[in-house]
């Protein structure tokens, strides 16, 4: 469904597919991912297995920062409140891993290697 970015939060909170102005939300395995300007910048990930939202702490542009504000899930905790915030490379890796467990296993293997 096509929506204005300022109205996207209601779709995001329900983890529903949407298309906004250079933003979109889609299902990816056990994840729901909200993107800005394509798959290279995942703004938010909801991991259904872990039951948590993860936010991208990176900044890309003024327009992306505005999109991050419009699309921020209602129950994503801030960094100060214990929320999980990753940089963009970590967010992309998380999406490609498909779950927190796979992401943690990948990171553990990288540390051993």
Residue-wise burial string across 40-79, b where 16 or more C-beta atoms lie within 10 A, e elsewhere: ebbbbbbbeebeebbbbebebeeebeebbebbbbeebeee
Q: How confident is the model at residue 52 (pLDDT cuts 50, 70, 90)?
A: very high
Per-residue pLDDT of 59-87, as tens digits, reads: 777 787 889 889 999 988 776 677 889 99
Per-residue pLDDT of 3-51, as tens digits, reads: 999 999 999 999 999 999 999 999 988 999 999 988 999 999 999 999 9
Residue 93 phi/psi, 5-degree rounding, is: -65, -40
pLDDT at 79: 67
pLDDT at 11: 97
pLDDT at 55: 95
User: Would you kindly state where each structural domain of the chain is located, as residue ranges?
Assistant: 5-112
Q: Is 21 helix (H, G, I), strand (E, B) or coil?
A: coil
Determine the Cα–Cα distance for residues 100 and 62; give it in Å rounded to an integer.
30
pLDDT at 66: 85
pTM of the predicted protein model: 0.90
Both tokens of 60, joined, read 């890309």
């Amino acid at each position: 469904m096509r929506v204005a970015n300022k109205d996207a939060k209601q779709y995001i909170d329900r983890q529903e597919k949407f298309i906004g102005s250079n933003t979109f939300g889609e299902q990816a395995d056990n994840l729901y991912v909200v993107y800005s300007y394509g798959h290279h910048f995942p703004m938010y990930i909801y991991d259904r297995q872990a039951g948590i939202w993860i936010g991208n702490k990176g900044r890309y542009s003024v327009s992306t920062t505005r999109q991050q504000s419009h699309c921020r899930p209602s129950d994503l905790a801030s960094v100060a409140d214990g929320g999980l915030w990753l940089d963009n490379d970590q967010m992309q890796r998380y999406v490609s891993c498909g779950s927190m467990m796979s992401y943690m296993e990948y990171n553990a293997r990288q540390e051993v290697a």
